[in-house]
Structure 1
Amino acid sequence: MNSEDLLYAMALQHIPNLGDTTAKKLIRKFGKPENIFKEKRSNLLKIDGVGSTRIHELHHPGHLKAAEEELKFIENNNIQVHYFMDRGYPEKLKHCLDGPVLLFSKGNIELDKKRIISVVGTRKISAHGIAFCEKLIEDLAVLDPVIISGFAYGTDITAQKAAIKNNLQTIGCLAHGLNQIYPKSHKKYMAPVEENGGFFTDFWSTDNFDRNNFLKRNRIIAGISEATIVIESAEKGGALVTADIANSYDREVFAVPGRPTDKASIGCNNLIKSQQSHVLTSAADIAYILNWEIGEKEKSVQKQLFIELDEDEQKLYEFLKSSGKTELDHLALNCSFPTFKTASLLLNMELKGAVRPLPGKLFEVI
């Protein structure tokens, strides 16, 4: 959009209590944002959700003035602006009624034709939760998903660091403007996140940090992705709010089950028990539910994602993969296993769906 349209869109976003849902309704009705400010009062009153108080606010000069100042900040800080009707706006977020009119970003974000998942959870993540989160993202890496989170303590930063480690794009959705960072201790992670993805927010540089902003931020985390994954959560918490929003958007939700006595698992267990989420035990669950197809270049590691092979089974699998159809005795000899053990391993692998037997005591990978 041109600078004039952007100015008026920002002025519209600045009006208190107008809300993104009503703002988008007005834009779709009257076309360009500028037209709304010039429309007759009587026509505006016909729009559901637009009252006389909001119409009065439209003509307050302070909104255009504030928009001009924020535009200077945007231009001076290399910030990208995404308008909800533009092609560059996140596709799935376009289908959310309360998605932001304008979304601001920094970094190297590329979402076109990408698989996108959100990972959320408690700020007080356990060692078990950290290990599961890291392994999950490591196993998903072959599918090249974008990892979305909130850049907060605990689960959020664990997921985003794991994404960077596995060369995946990761995006932090912030509850404040792009002129600050919360928590301050995560400032050291800003550069690697921007290098491997970036940050989204619909808050301005003039918006002071407020914990209540997290609720508004969570709709972006839930709306931008195909699915929301809850690693750990107490009985109440922001992660459950995000899961609830994701459900309201008809997105998939996954929760990692835990022991009933673990406080950090109560929220996840309740999501599963109330059928508000799928049970998540491995990366394969996500790929299966989301129907993520495996491309040719990814098939070599497909079995590692969907089938757990022990060390000996993996050795046989790799040999078969590189050698093609192989006779039992030849396989045992080259892998340095007794024939009886090789036969037993192959049977287990057949039951797991990793190999299949052929006539003449031959085997091949599936």
Structure 2
Amino acid sequence: MSLTCQIALTLLKAIGPVTAKHLLSHFGTPEAIFAATRAQLAEVEGLNVSKITAILQSDALKLAAEHADLLQEHQVKVLFYTDENYPQRLKECADAPVLLYYKGTADLNHPRIVSIVGSRRATPYGKMLCQQLVALLQHYDVLVVSGLAYGIDVSAHQQSLTYGIPTVGVLGHGLDRIYPAAHHQIAKKMLEQGGLLSEFLLNSTPEKGNFPKRNRIIAGLADVVVVIEAAIKGGALITAGIANSYHREVYAFPGRTTDEYSEGCNFLIKTNRAGMINEAKDLVYYMGWEAAETVSPVLQENLPCGLSGIEHVLINLLKTAPQSIDELGLKADIQQGKLALHLLNLEMKGVLISLPGKIYQLI
């Protein structure tokens, strides 16, 4: 009955997270809320007649019982607001969800949590900054959080997997699907090295209005939010604004004033809504983090299938440092035309990025 009542509390119309917490504070348990009389509900501060009626006449318990069976079938963990394993940082936020759904192995109360956000249209510059940041964070025993969206989000998750860092994706829909579908394989790996988290029930679709709600969880879970690239409007700036309201640390990488996807970062810095970091080590300096002595550098082989022999050679050459197409051609002993095709194939598969001046770097 407890799980059913917990779920039912989130299904009550006109009862949001703030009101739900008032009810919990007054009655102590979800069961007591649903057992309360009209007179008892009227004693709760801020609970008007329409909300009281919504509780008394709701069929939430019936619907919740059906969802509870479905959650067990999909092996989804339920984290209720009063549970010890509910994210404690998120609990500090007034509008935090009273119920979260989780699949994975990561500790959501990890000692150090970094949320990384940015544009869905990440540029080579943004991907490079993301790779450099995550590569450094492997030394500092962190959990990386993002939203599994295109661009900077998925780059943060992929780099975390590559460097052996636990990473959690916060979804704007139920845990029975992955959106975008192209990130299904990455999400599958994250279940083994991190997890997937949502406040939305199974069978919930990725509706537009869900993603601002998702962003508040990304902000609330973390000690610090890092904006890598962002236009002047978009989810990354929304997340940064929410993080400000939660009194979280916010930092952003600056970019050229003419770059569309640095405009948002530059704005955050200019208006003192984010501290400026020029390189990855600035973040750990400002956070006052010491390197974890037990953590050794890790670069896991996490490459797509179907690579040719020469493509593996090129990857090994690029492991040392970014290199020009001319340097790669000489070292790999391959004609420029064929080399360019192999490099394009690796770039399309998300293995490397092309930098200005025909320089190539592993992602």
TM-score (norm 1): 0.78
Q: Which residue of 1 aligns with 2:90?
A: 93
Task: Give the counterpart letter for 2:87 in structure 1.
Answer: P
Which residue number in structure 1 is paired with residue 53 of structure 2? 56
The residue number in structure 2 matching 1:210 is: 207
Partner in structure 1 of residue 40 of structure 2: 43
How far apart are 1:200 and its partner, in Å? 0.4
Deviates more, 1:6-15 or 1:37-46: 37-46
Deviations 1:175-219, CA, capped at 9 Å, x for gaps: 000111111111121211111111000001142320110011111
Q: Which residue of structure 1 lines up, in the alignment, with residue 28 of structure 2?
A: 31
Matches within 5 A, 1:1-366: 4-297=1-294
Q: Could you tell me which residue of structure 2 aligns to residue 359 of structure 1? A: none
Task: Write out per-residue CA displacement over residues 56-85 of structure 1, whole angstroms, 9 at most, x where no aligned residue.
Answer: 121235201110111011101111011111
Distance 2:292 2:215 in 1: 32
Partners of 1:185 and 1:257 in 2: how far apart? 29
Please state whether the residue corresponding to 1:195 is helix, strand or coil.
coil
Shift of 1:113: 4.1
Relative to 1, partners in 2 of residues 1:235 and 1:38: Cα closer, same or farther, differing over 3 Å? Answer: same
Superposition deviation, residue 292 in structure 1:
1.5
Percent of counterpart pairs with the same letter?
39
**Greater C-alpha radius of gyration:** 1
Give 1 or 2: higher helix fraction. Answer: 1
Q: Residue 201 of structure 2 aligns to which amino acid in structure 1?
A: W
Give the SS at the match of 1:148. strand
Paired residue secondary structure (1:228): strand
AA in 2 matched with 1:22: T
**Whole-Å Cα distance in 2 between the matches of residues 114 and 246 of structure 1?**
18
For residues 11 and 222 of structure 1, do their structure 2 counterparts lie closer, same or farther at Cα, with a shift above 3 Å needed?
same
Question: Deviation of residue 7 (structure 1)?
Answer: 1.2
Deviation at 1:168, TM superposition (A): 0.3
**Distance in 2 (alpha carbons) for counterparts of 1:300 and 1:16:** 50
**Root mean square deviation, CA, Å:** 1.8
Query: Using a 3 Å threshold, how does the CA distance of structure 1 residues 159 and 299 change in structure 2: closer, same or farther?
Result: closer
Structure 2: segments with no counterpart, 5+ residues: 299-319, 321-363
Alpha-carbon distance between aligned partners in 1 of 2:288 and 2:93, rounded to the nearest angstrom: 22
Counterpart of 2:121 in 1: which secondary structure? Answer: coil
CA distance, structure 1, for counterparts of residue 238 and residue 297 of structure 2: 38
2: CA distance between counterparts of 1:188 and 1:89?
Answer: 27
AA of the residue aligned to 2:128: A
- Report how far residue 234 of structure 1 moved: 0.6
SS at match of 2:233: coil
Higher relative contact order at CA 8 Å, sep ≥6: structure 1 or structure 2?
2
* TM-aligned CA deviation for residue 127 of structure 1: 0.5
SS in 2 for 1:142: coil
* 1:299 CA displacement: 10
TM-score (norm 2): 0.79
* Larger deviation, residues 75-84 vs 56-65: 56-65
Kindly indicate whether the alpha-carbon contact (under 8 Å) linking 2:38 and 2:56 is maintained by their aligned counterparts in 1: no
- How far apart in 1 are the matches of 2:196 and 2:46? 31
- Measured in 1, the distance between the counterparts of 2:44 and 2:238 equals 30
Report the counterpart of residue 346 of structure 1 in structure 2. none
The farther-off stretch of 106-115 and 172-181 is 106-115
Cα separation, partners in 2 of 1:179 and 1:60, compared to 1, 3 Å: farther
For the residues of structure 2 that align with 1:45 and 1:154, how far apart are their CA atoms?
A: 48
On the 8 A contact 2:110/2:143 being kept in 1, the answer is: no
CA distance in 2, matches of 1:166, 1:299: 10
